[in-house]
Structure 1
Amino acid sequence: MQAWLLVGLAAAVAGFSRGFAAFGTAMIYVPLVTLAYDAKTAVVTLFLVDLLPSVPLVRTAARDCEWRPTILCMALGAAALSPVGVILLLMVPARDVMAILGLVLIAATSYLLLGPRLHLAGGAGQSLIAGAVSGLAGGICGIFGPPAMIYLLGRQSDAATTRANAVIFLTGESLLLGATYLLYGMVTRRMLVLAVVLMPLYGACLWLGAHSFAGVSDVLYRRLVLGLLWLVAAAILIHALLAL
């Protein structure tokens, strides 16, 4: 019973975060489901449970996002450096990399929250670099979202465009990971059953998060997402320190 409560809580909160902020889903869902099952079940079922409920979200975001140069260049950067991240993962202790990533994210997020408003031009070069950093982080420890969100929040775009860009970019990364799971035969019948059971709850909370976003101002959205980013960065750092 306790395991089902953990899994249900994970699906509900992760779904809301996906619908409202477009990111943070993995950092919420994976640790809780890992406690109830295991890490493999957590990452694979997250991919499965998100597939259908995210279709309306992605369809809407596809109309509002900046395909060129933002999404295209970020995708190219991520594709180029994701393999480098995997190589580093094999060479450097994961806890060391996560500690550095956590510190950098906390510093960047704190600056965006407390410092003067950052205005990035958001051209092809910056988008390529942001995607590369995101891909590097994703390759090392599976965390694509925070570096990409920090870049997108630093640009001169409204909340709707920022969220749409995040939805499309992170969905693309998720599909690539999902293809890897399928290629390596990681999807089991038990995982499919769990995903089907959780999908209605996840989808309902995603819908609730998406509709909650509709009434949020640009400033409030930015602060809420930066707050979530700070918590994610702190969680990464604490996890790395506990592993020492």
Structure 2
Amino acid sequence: MSSVYVYAFVCVFLAGIVRGFSGFAFAALVVISVSFVLPPETVVPAVLILEVIAGIHLLPSIWRTVHWPSITIIVVASIIATPLGVYVLANVPAEPMKLALAVITFVAAAVLATGYQLKRMPRPAETAATGAAAGLLNGAFGIGGPPIIVFFLGSPLALEAGRASIVASFLAMDIAGLIALFAFGMYDRASLTLTVLALPALVAGVYIGSRLVGRLDEKAARKGVIAILMILSVMMGYGSLMAIRGG
């Protein structure tokens, strides 16, 4: 196994621990960290497969608490927007994609850090806009989570319903993303190799993370994850900007 894949294995393992503990940030952590050594068009297809695997086993346990009125609108809008995001991934050069990924991740992390809260459930049009943004980001970067996380964790819904809705949204969007990526021929040998090598890291990481639930301060851990995302996004953004200027 080359040093690149060893690095990717470690990144997936650590992100898996976060996923098992908090239920979010796996895709963002993996995409932005592994994209330092592999192009986004290799990383994103692998991450979507890993996300589907991570989410399927949770579906039976969260089914009854999902907020279906919002989920239905979000999923439909995200499915419509996902192919556009995949088109961007397939046609935009790696460095501009990395720069855009860095900016989007930083902004999303900054919003989450503020603890933004809504006073009411968003209207159908606002819910559809959230789904479309998530689908576009999921297709292009494999990280459709930020709009969904801000939407549900910032909503008046109970925390359990919000988390369940996030998991269900992720799973539906990732399946739509997989279909679109296959349609665009984005699954090559490199992305499939990364998927196979990273799968044991995901399983081990999620298992360890799930065992930490109730043993660690969730708010402190979430702040730490957000800080890491912001630091990684600044590093990636700076490196991509220098590469673009140098080119």
Compute the TM-score of the two structures, normalised by the length of structure 1: 0.73
> Which runs of 5 or more residues in structure 1 are unaligned?
none
Kindly tell me: are residues 32 and 137 of structure 1, through their superposed partners in 2, closer, same or farther at Cα, counting changes over 3 Å?
Answer: closer
> Aligned match of 1:108 in 106, 111, 119?
111
Q: Contact 2:79/2:176 (CA < 8 Å) preserved in 1?
A: no
What root-mean-square deviation, in Å, do the aligned CA atoms of Structure 1 and Structure 2 show?
3.6
> Aligned match of 1:240 in 233, 237, 241?
237
Kindly tell me: are residues 76 and 51 of structure 1, through their superposed partners in 2, closer, same or farther at Cα, counting changes over 3 Å?
Answer: closer
For residues 98-130 of structure 1, give each alpha carbon's deviation from its aligned partner in whole angstroms, at most 9, with x where no partner exists: 576356435523431xxxx72432244343332
| CA distance in structure 1 between the partners assigned to 2:239 and 2:208 by the alignment | 35
Kindly tell me: are residues 158 and 169 of structure 1, through their superposed partners in 2, closer, same or farther at Cα, counting changes over 3 Å?
Answer: same
User: For 2:157, what is the secondary structure of its paired residue?
Assistant: coil
The equivalences for 1:94-243 within 5 A come to 101=104, 104-112=107-115, 118-125=117-124, 126-138=126-138, 141-188=141-188, 191-192=191-192, 194-213=194-213, 215=214, 221=218, 224-225=221-222, 227-243=224-240
For residues 53-97 of structure 1, give each alpha carbon's deviation from its aligned partner in whole angstroms, at most 9, with x where no partner exists: 432123323333212x12112223334544666788889x65775
**Corresponding residue of 1:39:** 40
Q: Contact 2:40/2:97 (CA < 8 Å) preserved in 1?
A: no
1:64 pairs with 2:61: no
| CA distance in structure 2 between the partners assigned to 1:74 and 1:106 by the alignment | 21
The equivalences for 1:1-20 within 5 A come to 2-20=3-21
User: For 1:243, what is the secondary structure of its paired residue?
Assistant: helix
User: For 2:58, what is the secondary structure of its paired residue?
Assistant: helix
* Larger displacement relative to structure 2 (30-39 or 126-135): 30-39
| CA distance in structure 2 between the partners assigned to 1:96 and 1:7 by the alignment | 20
Q: Which amino acid letter does the alignment assign opposite residue 225 of structure 1? A: R
| CA distance in structure 2 between the partners assigned to 1:97 and 1:190 by the alignment | 23
Q: Contact 1:102/1:234 (CA < 8 Å) preserved in 2?
A: no
| CA distance in structure 2 between the partners assigned to 1:9 and 1:44 by the alignment | 18
| CA distance in structure 1 between the partners assigned to 2:103 and 2:54 by the alignment | 34
Compute the TM-score of the two structures, normalised by the length of structure 2: 0.73
| CA distance in structure 2 between the partners assigned to 1:36 and 1:111 by the alignment | 31
State the Cα distance separating 1:192 from its structure 2 match: 4.1
Q: Contact 2:56/2:171 (CA < 8 Å) preserved in 1?
A: no
State the Cα distance separating 1:12 from its structure 2 match: 0.8
| CA distance in structure 2 between the partners assigned to 1:4 and 1:85 by the alignment | 26
Kindly tell me: are residues 35 and 227 of structure 1, through their superposed partners in 2, closer, same or farther at Cα, counting changes over 3 Å?
Answer: closer
The count of aligned residue pairs is 235
**Corresponding residue of 2:77:** 77
For residues 189-235 of structure 1, give each alpha carbon's deviation from its aligned partner in whole angstroms, at most 9, with x where no partner exists: 5654553343233112212323433x279xx5456435534543453
| CA distance in structure 2 between the partners assigned to 1:132 and 1:73 by the alignment | 10
Kindly tell me: are residues 13 and 98 of structure 1, through their superposed partners in 2, closer, same or farther at Cα, counting changes over 3 Å?
Answer: closer
Kindly tell me: are residues 7 and 175 of structure 1, through their superposed partners in 2, closer, same or farther at Cα, counting changes over 3 Å?
Answer: same
Kindly tell me: are residues 171 and 207 of structure 1, through their superposed partners in 2, closer, same or farther at Cα, counting changes over 3 Å?
Answer: same
User: For 1:148, what is the secondary structure of its paired residue?
Assistant: helix
Kindly tell me: are residues 129 and 231 of structure 1, through their superposed partners in 2, closer, same or farther at Cα, counting changes over 3 Å?
Answer: farther
Kindly tell me: are residues 86 and 162 of structure 1, through their superposed partners in 2, closer, same or farther at Cα, counting changes over 3 Å?
Answer: same
For residues 140-161 of structure 1, give each alpha carbon's deviation from its aligned partner in whole angstroms, at most 9, with x where no partner exists: 6543111221121111234332
State the Cα distance separating 1:239 from its structure 2 match: 2.9
The equivalences for 1:13-28 within 5 A come to 13-28=14-29
